[in-house]
Copies of this chain bind each other. A is one copy, B any other.
Amino acid sequence: MSVIVDPNAVQEMDEEWESEAATSGDTGLDEEEEDDGEPKICRVCGDRATGYHFNAMTCEGCKGFFRRAMKRSIHLSCPFQRSCVITKNNRRQCQACRLRKCLDIGMRKELIMTDEAVENRRALIRRKKQMRRVTVSAEVQTGLTSEHQLLIQELTQAQNQTFDRSFSHFHHFRPVERSPLRSCHSAESFDEYVPTSYGQIWRGGSGGSSPEDPYLTHCHQDPMDTMAPDSLHKSENSAERKVFCMLPHISDLSTYMIKGVISFAKVLAPFRELSIEDQIALLKGAAFELTQIRFNTLFNSTTGLWECGKLEYDINDASLAGFKALLLDPLLKFHYILKKLNLQNEEYSLMQAISLFSPDRPGVKHSERIDQLQEMCALALKSYIDTRRPQHEKKFLFPKIIRCLTELRSMNVEYCKQVVEIHDIQPDNSPLIMEVFSRGND
């Protein structure tokens, strides 16, 4: 039964039969005098129109309705007979017919801005607003453009808000356990995970370690010393002893730090404005790097310790958590080198931002925008250095920082790999860690 039978059709003497057939109702009242000044009447509901909206003369109500209904993109069904006459007073009673009428009279959904366009617009407006707030004088005084100033301000603020230097939560972590461990694995499989060459490389090259090496004066036992002899025995008494004795604690520490950097990112307006998808991709890609940058601020290059309140860690703790020299060698080097640059909080924050806004992380969709952000951060860092650092530092500091970021990035891959490997042996890592690192980064 060719269903589109419309009783109204008979009454319609308008030229365009079909465009009216389903909904008609405006009975040509507003049509005839279109000559010049259009009648300010909503073509959908007959209310007072406020101009053309999405290509049709409509009222504010129908304008908003059309935008919202199209964005919701769900199918609406008329509870009546699909032929409701839309009027000012009944327009809310049938969304389906109202929307159909909108389309009938030529409203076009292409004229609705996409979510992305809206986001860009919002970002633009926000930036301009802030820009306006910052006076030009400030720019003159600091030598930084107000845009850079604002950015740096936002970053350091985010950093301070989300980097807990009280270390008060560290007590909730699973306990520190540095004592010799007993393997449930065979000697060779264990060898695979704790490199024998570790000590040599660490201790500075050719000859073994000299006691005065700053980063070796600490209480780490070589796991091999105590463990190898036992490694073929099955664990007899100590059910809790793990192969990677520090893993539970280090895992909780990492998890905590990751939550911190996630908060850091989420506090940043330009980050929040990205799609959720991209936010996740960026965080997955940068989590390791950001935590290491933050750890660097806690690093004491004299003692080789990361000082976290009353707890402190050395590189061997990482090896006791199962990480191998292939990662730990360059990582420790990184910390010494970066520490030497003696960065300020602003610079650390900018570094984090540059790492975070890496447009080439796997899974990133809108890389252009992220690229912009990264570039802005880099420029801000450059300007900051130029204006705040003494002459002799200006020249090389920026490239050195960038170099550190590059090194960090190259460790990222290895880190992810080792996390997964470790987890296969001893699944002590938190779900968050596994989620963030369990797929390839880069």
Which residues of A are at the interface with B, using a C-beta cutoff of 8 A? 1-13, 15, 18-25, 27, 29, 46, 55, 70, 73-75, 77, 79-85, 87-90, 93-94, 96, 100, 103-104, 108-111, 114, 135-139, 145-147, 150, 153-154, 160, 163, 165-168, 176, 178, 219-221, 259, 262, 266, 276-277, 279-280, 283, 297-298, 300, 303, 305, 307, 309-312, 314, 316, 345, 363, 431-432, 435-436, 439
Q: Are A432 and B138 in contact (CB under 8 A)?
A: yes
A87 is contacted by which of B13, B139, B219, B220 (Cβ under 8 Å)?
A: B13
Cα-based distance from A177 to B18 in the complex (angstroms): 14
Copies in the complex: 2
8 Å CB contact of A1 from B55, B75, B221:
B221
Contact status B136-A3, CB under 8 Å: no
B168/A108 in contact, CB under 8 A: yes
Residues of B within 8 A of A166 (CB): 70, 103, 108-109
**Which residue of A2, A19, A108, A312 has the most chain B CB atoms within 10 A of its CB atom?**
A2
CA distance A22 to B310 in the complex (A): 7
CB–CB A6/B7 < 8 A: yes
How far is B283's CA from A140's CA once the two chains are assembled, in angstroms? Answer: 15
The residue that A22 contacts in the complex, of B10, B29, B85, B103, with Cβ under 8 A, is: B85
With A146-B435, A276-B153 given, is the CB distance from A83 to B136 under 8 Å? no
Cβ of A199 to closest chain B Cβ, rounded Å: 15
Q: Is the CB of A9 within 8 A of B24?
A: yes
A146 to B279, CA, bound (A): 12
Which chain B positions have C-beta within 8 A of A79? Answer: 110-111, 114
Min CB gap A400→B, angstroms:
20
Residues on the B chain within 8 Å of A154, using CB: 277
In the complex, which residue of chain B has the Cβ closest to the Cβ of A141? B431
A1-B219, A109-B166, A154-B277 known, 14 other contacts, Cβ within 8 Å: A2-B7, A4-B312, A5-B7, A6-B85, A18-B85, A18-B89, A18-B310, A19-B89, A23-B310, A79-B111, A104-B309, A138-B436, A150-B363, A153-B276
Closest CB-CB distance, A274 to chain B, in whole Å? Answer: 12
Assess the A6–B5 pair: CB atoms within 8 A: no
